[in-house]
Amino acid sequence: MKLIEKTTLRNAMFFFVSVAASSAAFSQETPADELRSIQSLAQQSLPAGSTILATCGMSEGRAYYISPKVQDWADDRITDGRLVIFVDAKNEPNILFRDARGSFIDAKKDGAIVVFSFLNEEKKAVGLIETYPTTGVTQTYVLSTGADAKKYLLWTTVKAHLSIADITKASAHKSVCI
């Protein structure tokens, strides 16, 4: 599913999903040069005084579907979408999604409420909760540095009866960020 669908067709309830997946499932990364270019473009879309916390590349993960048919955990890659995590001048968090067409979508302008779930300045780690009250979609994000010194975004989502396709799924993803 492309990110444009994720930002305009919100519908689910929140719960935290934990998925065990092999490292082979997480083999692709977006080149750092591309992420720097996206970060530069995103900066032009942000409100004055905003600070980018991370620019994240393609997302890879796993999803469990119960509608339109029940299926076991399956690969769930978002190869064209990008995420930009930022805070505005009031230190309020927000998320920009860059969809497959190259358009930036501001989560709050799309109807989301975005809040910190935690902030650990010592570890340079943050947690975010993004929820869409009109549809019930809620996503959780953890931005942290891994043991390999790379910055990662781990995120989950749950969607119930989404769109005319009646998609209901839970998923967990990871992205490598700068």
Residue 61 phi/psi, 5-degree rounding, is -175, -155
Mean pLDDT of 24-30: 60
pLDDT mean over 120-140: 91
Q: Cα angle vertex 176, ends 56, 14, to 5°?
A: 70
Residue 82 lies in a domain: yes
Q: Give the range of the structural domain holding residue 46, as residue numbers without chain letter.
A: 3-17+27-177
Q: Please check whether residue 67 lies inside any domain of the structure.
A: yes
Cβ pair 67, 168 in contact under 8 A: yes
In a domain, 42, yes or no: yes
Three-state secondary structure readout of the chain: CCHHHHHHCCCCCCCCCCCCCCHHHHCCCCCHHHHHHHHHHHHHHCCCCCEEEEEECCEEEEEEEEECCCEEEEECCECCCEEEEEECCCCCEEEEEECCCCCEEECCCCCCEEEEEEEECCCCEEEEEEECCCCCCEEEEEEEECCCCCEEEEEEEEEEEECCCCEEEEEEEEEEEC
Q: What is the pTM of this model?
A: 0.80
In a domain, 22, yes or no: no
Reported as a single tens digit per residue, the pLDDT across 50-83 is: 999 999 999 999 999 999 889 889 999 988 889 9
Give the mean pLDDT of 7-21. Answer: 28
Give the pLDDT confidence of 85-127 residue by residue, as tens digits. Answer: 999 999 999 999 987 688 899 999 999 999 999 999 899 999 9
Question: What's the structural domain count of the chain?
Answer: 1
Q: How far apart are the first and last CA of the chain?
A: 24
Whole-number pLDDT of residue 167: 85
